[in-house]
C-alpha cells in the first residue's frame, strides 16, 4: 500500500503542474475501457478527477485507507478494519449522492470458485458495516474478484495478507 | 465423420493384392497364443512396444490438408503420440521402423516386425477421394501371433484429417486395453498471459493433444471455468463482462453468447447436467453462496442448497441423479453428495485437510478433487467416499476434469511466486503418467469434452 500511495502522490504532483500550465496535451490519452476489469485499486480515474470533491481520488486521499484486510479464510471486520471503515463511512456521509462498489479479494491459497464465494463474503462484510454506520445500501454494490486480481505478487505470508482484502471504490 | 468397423468397403478393392496371400503359420496344436493385452490397473506395468510406421498412399494427391504421402507420415505420428501419451505404449523410434509399401498394409512383413521387439503393429493408408474427402484405413496386428486384431476406416473432410489419426489411436487403445476411447476429444480452457496482478484471460478450445488451437474470446473481460455442453455445441462459462460477474453460454458454431440467468446476483461455477437440460451453478447473495440449477433454456433458478456457508463447485453423476459439491458448512471445505433435487446431503470426505472442486468420473466410480494443504494436489476417491488416492505433487495443482473414458484427468498447475504462470497437465489414474499439454500461452481451468461422434 505504501508504494502505491507514493506513486499516487507523485502522479498528483505531476497533474498539479500540468494543471497550472493550462496546456492541452498533444495527444489525448485513450479512453478508459468501459468493459475492462481493472480490479482493485487500479488507478483509472481521469487526472482531473483527483482534485474533484466527491471523486474516488478525493475518497482515497481523505479516508484512512480504501482497503480493509482479513485473516486467513476469514471475513470478519476486525478493530483495524473498523477504524478504516469508520473513516470511509464519514466520507460517504459527506457526499450523499456518491455511489461506491466494494471489491472482495482473496489470496491464492484457495481454489478459484471457493475464492469467488469468499471474496463475496468479504465485500459484503465491509458493505454491511458501512450500512450499519448509516450509509444507504442502495448506494453500495459489491463484486468479488476471488484470487484474480492480487495486489502483492509473492507466494508468501506478507503477500497473502495484503491480498485478503475489501476495497471500496467510489463510482464517478 | 463417417467410419465403418469390420469391413473397409472402399479399401477392400484398392488394397486388394495380398488379402488372400497372408501366410500365417498355424499355431502348434494345443498351443494357444497368449492374448495380446495391456494392463491398465495395478502397479506400473511395462509399456507395450508398438510399431506405427508411416501410412502409405496409393497415389500421391494434393489436398487442402497437404499431400497424401505427407499426411500418412503425420497420421502415424498422431497415433504414436496419442498412444505414448497414455503411458501404456512405447512406440518404436522412427529409426527402427521401415517404410511400408501400399500393398503391404494388410499383409505386414511380420518377419521384420518380429525382429524389432514390437508386440503390436499399426498400419494404415491414406487416400484422397473424388468427392474431396479423405479415407484413412487403420489396422492393428498382433506381431507374435501374426494375426489382424481389428481394423477401421475413417472418411473425413480434409479439415478433420487429424481426427482420423485420433480415431485410429482410439481403436488401438480400446482393443488392447479394454478401456473406452478418449483421444478424439477436445479441451476448452482459459488461455492466460500478462502480469500476475492483471492476467488477461481468454476462452480457448483445442484438440486434447493441443492441435487446432483457437481463441474464442478477446480477453477484454476476465473469463473463468468453461465447461462443454454434452452435445459439444456450446460452452458454459463465467465472465466479468460489463463488470457484472455472471454465467454465459457460448455457441461454438456462431460465436454468439447469452446470459444464463437474468437480473440475479453474482453467478459462477456453471456446469451442464449430463442430459444438457439444466445448468448447475453457484450464486452469491449478500455474502452467502448456494448451489442452484436453471433450465439451460433460461427461466427461474431453483435453489438446491441452503446452508449459511459456502456451497459451490457442483458436478453431476453420469446418470444425472446425484450431485457432488463442496461446502464449508462443517468449518473447512469438504465434499458432499446430494440428490439432483437437493435432498439427502451427505458428507463423503473425511481425510485430513480440505477438499475442493469435486468432479464425478464419466464412469461413475470415482470423484476427482483438489486437496488443499500446504500445496494443492489432485486426487480421486470412491463416489461413496473412501479409497482416497493422491495423484499429483505440484505447488498448486487445481481444477481436475476427466477424460471421456474416466482414465485420465486434466488439471492446471500454477507456479509459485510473482510470475503468475499456470499451465495445463494430464495425469492418469495410476499417478505415474503425467504430461504437460502444450499451449500457445499459459493456461488454466481446463475442461475435457466428451468423445467426438
ipTM value, please give it: 0.90
Query: Grid coordinates in use for B87?
Result: 503411458
Assigned domain for A40 exists? no
* Separation of CA B206 from chain center: 11
Question: Would an 8 Å CB–CB cutoff place A113 in contact with chain B?
Answer: yes
Question: Would an 8 Å CB–CB cutoff place B241 in contact with chain A?
Answer: yes
Question: Would an 8 Å CB–CB cutoff place A33 in contact with chain B?
Answer: yes
To the nearest whole Å, the CA of A67 is away from the closest chain B CA by 16
Q: List CB contacts (< 8 A) between B282 and chain A.
A: 113, 116-117
Give the chain B residue nearest A119 (alpha carbons): B287
Q: Are strands B147-156 and B434-437 parallel, antiparallel or unpaired?
A: unpaired
Assigned domain for A134 exists? yes
| Half-sphere exposure in the Cβ direction for B415 (13 Å, CA) | 13
B13: phi then psi, degrees, rounded to nearest 5: -75, -40
Together in a domain, A5 and A76: no
A-B interface: how many C-beta pairs under 8 angstroms? 111
CATH classification of the domain holding A109: 3.30.1330.60
The answer to whether the beta carbons of residues B377 and B344 sit under 8 Å apart is: no
Considering only residues 11 to 30 of chain A, which have any Cβ-Cβ distance to chain B shorter than 8 Å? none
Q: List CB contacts (< 8 A) between B199 and chain A.
A: 148
> CB count, 10 Å around CB of B167?
25
Q: What is the pLDDT of residue B279?
A: 97
Together in a domain, A133 and A72: yes
Assigned domain for A141 exists? yes
Considering only residues 53 to 72 of chain A, which have any Cβ-Cβ distance to chain B shorter than 8 Å? none
A59: phi then psi, degrees, rounded to nearest 5: -55, -50
Together in a domain, A143 and A71: yes
How far is the C-alpha of B174 from the C-alpha of B89, rounded, in Å? 12
Q: What is the pLDDT of residues B129-138, one digit of tens each?
A: 999 999 999 9
Together in a domain, A71 and A148: yes
Assigned domain for A35 exists? no
Quick check: A149 and B287 CB within 8 A?
no
Q: List CB contacts (< 8 A) between A143 and chain B.
A: 243, 245, 266
Q: List CB contacts (< 8 A) between B417 and chain A.
A: 153-155
Residues 6 or more apart from B431 whose CB is under 8 A from it? Answer: B389, B390, B391, B392
Give the number of residues written for chain A.
Answer: 172
Quick check: B372 and A144 CB within 8 A?
no
Quick check: B198 and A35 CB within 8 A?
no
Beta strands in B264-304 (DSSP E): 266-272, 278-285, 288-295, 302-303
Q: List CB contacts (< 8 A) between B269 and chain A.
A: 113, 116
Together in a domain, A95 and A136: yes
Together in a domain, A93 and A21: no
Residue A6 pLDDT greater than 90, yes or no: no
- What does the mean pLDDT of chain B come to? 91
Question: Would an 8 Å CB–CB cutoff place A132 in contact with chain B?
Answer: no
Together in a domain, A6 and A56: no
How far is the C-alpha of B172 from the C-alpha of B38, rounded, in Å? 11
Q: In which band, very low, low, confident or very high, does the pLDDT at A8 lie, cut at 50, 70 and 90?
A: very low
Q: List CB contacts (< 8 A) between B357 and chain A.
A: 111, 113
Together in a domain, A167 and A96: yes
Residue B273, judged by CB atoms within 10 A of its CB (0-12, 13-18, 19+), counts as: buried
Q: What is the pLDDT of residues A13-59, one digit of tens each?
A: 333 333 333 344 444 444 434 444 445 444 444 455 446 999 999 99
Query: Grid coordinates in use for B132?
Result: 474431396
Q: What domains sit in chain B, N to C, each tagged with a CATH number? A: 2-20+49-177 (3.40.50.10070), 185-451 (2.120.10.30)
Domain count of the fold of chain A: 2
Quick check: A120 and B333 CB within 8 A?
no
Q: Are strands B134-142 and B147-156 parallel, antiparallel or unpaired?
A: antiparallel
To the nearest whole Å, the CA of B397 is away from the closest chain A CA by 10
How far is the C-alpha of B361 from the C-alpha of B342, rounded, in Å? 20
Together in a domain, A19 and A75: no
Assigned domain for A18 exists? yes
Q: What is the pLDDT of residues A105-162, one digit of tens each?
A: 999 999 999 999 999 999 999 999 999 999 999 999 999 999 999 999 999 999 999 9
The H or E element containing residue B324 is strand B322-327
Which residues span the domain enclosing A18?
A: 1-25
Together in a domain, A19 and A60: no
The answer to whether the beta carbons of residues B393 and B377 sit under 8 Å apart is: yes
| Half-sphere exposure in the Cβ direction for B263 (13 Å, CA) | 2
Q: List CB contacts (< 8 A) between A106 and chain B.
A: none
DSSP helix/strand/coil, A24: coil
How far is the C-alpha of B224 from the C-alpha of A117, rounded, in Å? 14
Q: What is the pLDDT of residue B209?
A: 96
Long-range contacts of A134-138 (CB under 8 A, 24+ apart): A134/A89, A134/A93, A135/A89, A135/A92, A135/A93
Residues 6 or more apart from A5 whose CB is under 8 A from it? Answer: none
Q: What is the pLDDT of residues B165-201, one digit of tens each?
A: 999 999 999 999 999 999 999 999 999 999 999 999 9
Assigned domain for A45 exists? no
To the nearest whole Å, the CA of B213 is away from the closest chain A CA by 24
Q: Are strands B134-142 and B389-390 parallel, antiparallel or unpaired?
A: unpaired
Q: In which band, very low, low, confident or very high, does the pLDDT at B248 lie, cut at 50, 70 and 90?
A: very high
A13: phi then psi, degrees, rounded to nearest 5: -60, -45
Of B195, B328, B416, nearest to A155 by CB-CB distance is B416
Quick check: B286 and A124 CB within 8 A?
yes
What is the DSSP code (8-state) at residue B345?
-
Residue B21 pLDDT greater than 80, yes or no: no
Give per-residue burial for B238-252: e unless 16+ CB within 10 Å, then b: bbbbebebbbbbbeb
Chain B interface disruption, residue of A4, A113, A124, A129, most B CBs within 10 A: A113
Chain B interface disruption, residue of A42, A44, A112, most B CBs within 10 A: A112
> CB count, 10 Å around CB of B16?
11
Average pLDDT for B123-143: 97
CA angle B29–B35–B36, rounded 5-degree value: 135
Considering only residues 16 to 75 of chain B, which have any Cβ-Cβ distance to chain A shorter than 8 Å? none
How far is the C-alpha of B166 from the C-alpha of B81, rounded, in Å? 10
Q: List CB contacts (< 8 A) between A73 and chain B.
A: 332
Give which of B443, B411, B438, B405 is closest to B427, Cα–Cα: B411
Together in a domain, A73 and A12: no
Amino acid at each position: 500500500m505504501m508504494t502505491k500511495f507514493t506513486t499516487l502522490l507523485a502522479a498528483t504532483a505531476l497533474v498539479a503542474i500540468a494543471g497550472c500550465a493550462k496546456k492541452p496535451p498533444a495527444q489525448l490519452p485513450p479512453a478508459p475501457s468501459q468493459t475492462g476489469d481493472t480490479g482493485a485499486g487500479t488507478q483509472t480515474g481521469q487526472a482531473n478527477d483527483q482534485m474533484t470533491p466527491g471523486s474516488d481520488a478525493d475518497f482515497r486521499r481523505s479516508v484512512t485507507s480504501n482497503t480493509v484486510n482479513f485473516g486467513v479464510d476469514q471475513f470478519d471486520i476486525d478493530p483495524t478494519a473498523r477504524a478504516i471503515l469508520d473513516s470511509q463511512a464519514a466520507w460517504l456521509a459527506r457526499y450523499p449522492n456518491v455511489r461506491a462498489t466494494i471489491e472482495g479479494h482473496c489470496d491464492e491459497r484457495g481454489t478459484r470458485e471457493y475464492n469467488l464465494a469468499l471474496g463475496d463474503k468479504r465485500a459484503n462484510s465491509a458493505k454491511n458495516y458501512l450500512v450499519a454506520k448509516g450509509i444507504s445500501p442502495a448506494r453500495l454494490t459489491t463484486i468479488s474478484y476471488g484470487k484474480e486480481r492480487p495486489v502483492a505478487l509473492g507466494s508468501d505470508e506478507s503477500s497473502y495478507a495484503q491480498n485478503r482484502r475489501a476495497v471500496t471504490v467510489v463510482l464517478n | 465423420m463417417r467410419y465403418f468397423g469390420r469391413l473397409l468397403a472402399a479399401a477392400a478393392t484398392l488394397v486388394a493384392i495380398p488379402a488372400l496371400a497372408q501366410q500365417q503359420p498355424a499355431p502348434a496344436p494345443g498351443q494357444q497364443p497368449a492374448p495380446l493385452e495391456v494392463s491398465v490397473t495395478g502397479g506400473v506395468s511395462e509399456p507395450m512396444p508398438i510399431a506405427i510406421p508411416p501410412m502409405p498412399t496409393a497415389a500421391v494427391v494434393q489436398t487442402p490438408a497437404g499431400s497424401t504421402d505427407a499426411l500418412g507420415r503425420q497420421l502415424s505420428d498422431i497415433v504414436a503420440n496419442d498412444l505414448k501419451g497414455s503411458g501404456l505404449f512405447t512406440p518404436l523410434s522412427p529409426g527402427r521402423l521401415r517404410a511400408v509399401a501400399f500393398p503391404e498394409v494388410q499383409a505386414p512383413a511380420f518377419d521384420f516386425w518380429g525382429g524389432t521387439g514390437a508386440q503390436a503393429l499399426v498400419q494404415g493408408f491414406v487416400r484422397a477421394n473424388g468427392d474431396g474427402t479423405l479415407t484413412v484405413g487403420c489396422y492393428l496386428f498382433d506381431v507374435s501371433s501374426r494375426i489382424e486384431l481389428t481394423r477401421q476406416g475413417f472418411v473425413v473432410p480434409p479439415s478433420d484429417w487429424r481426427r482420423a489419426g485420433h480415431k485410429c489411436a482410439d481403436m488401438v487403445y480400446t482393443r488392447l486395453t479394454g478401456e473406452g476411447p478418449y483421444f478424439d476429444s477436445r479441451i476448452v480452457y482459459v488461455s492466460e498471459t500478462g502480469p500476475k496482478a492483471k492476467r488477461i484471460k481468454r476462452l480457448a478450445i483445442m484438440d486434447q493433444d493441443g492441435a487446432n488451437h483457437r481463441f474464442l474470446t478477446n480477453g477484454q473481460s476476465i473469463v473463468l471455468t468453461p465447461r462443454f455442453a454434452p452435445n459439444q455445441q456450446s460452452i458454459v462459462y463465467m465472465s466479468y463482462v460489463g463488470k457484472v460477474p455472471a454465467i454465459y453460454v457460448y455457441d461454438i458454431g456462431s460465436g454468439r453468447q447469452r446470459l444464463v440467468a437474468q437480473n440475479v446476483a453474482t453467478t459462477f461455477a456453471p456446469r451442464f447436467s449430463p442430459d444438457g437440460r439444466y445448468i448447475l451453478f453457484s450464486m452469491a447473495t449478500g455474502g452467502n453462496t448456494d448451489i442452484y440449477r436453471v433450465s439451460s433454456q433460461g427461466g427461474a433458478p431453483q435453489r438446491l442448497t441452503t446452508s449459511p456457508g459456502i456451497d459451490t463447485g457442483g458436478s453431476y453423476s453420469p446418470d444425472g441423479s446425484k450431485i457432488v459439491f463442496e461446502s464449508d458448512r462443517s468449518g473447512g471445505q469438504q465434499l458432499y453428495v446430494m440428490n439432483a433435487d437437493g435432498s439427502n446431503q451427505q458428507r463423503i470426505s473425511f481425510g485430513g485437510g480440505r477438499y475442493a472442486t469435486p468432479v464425478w468420473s464419466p464412469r461413475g466410480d470415482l470423484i476427482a478433487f483438489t486437496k488443499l494443504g500446504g500445496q494443492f494436489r489432485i486426487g480421486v476417491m470412491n463416489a461413496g467416499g473412501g479409497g482416497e488416492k493422491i495423484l499429483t505433487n505440484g505447488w498448486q495443482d487445481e481444477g481436475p476434469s476427466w477424460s471421456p473414458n474416466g482414465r485420465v484427468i486434466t488439471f492446471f498447475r500454477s507456479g509459485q511466486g510473482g510470475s503468475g504462470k499456470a499451465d495445463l497437465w494430464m495425469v492418469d489414474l495410476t499417478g505415474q503418467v503425467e504430461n504437460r499439454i502444450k499451449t500457445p500461452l499459459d493456461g488454466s481451468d481446463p475442461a475435457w469434452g466428451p468423445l467426438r461422434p
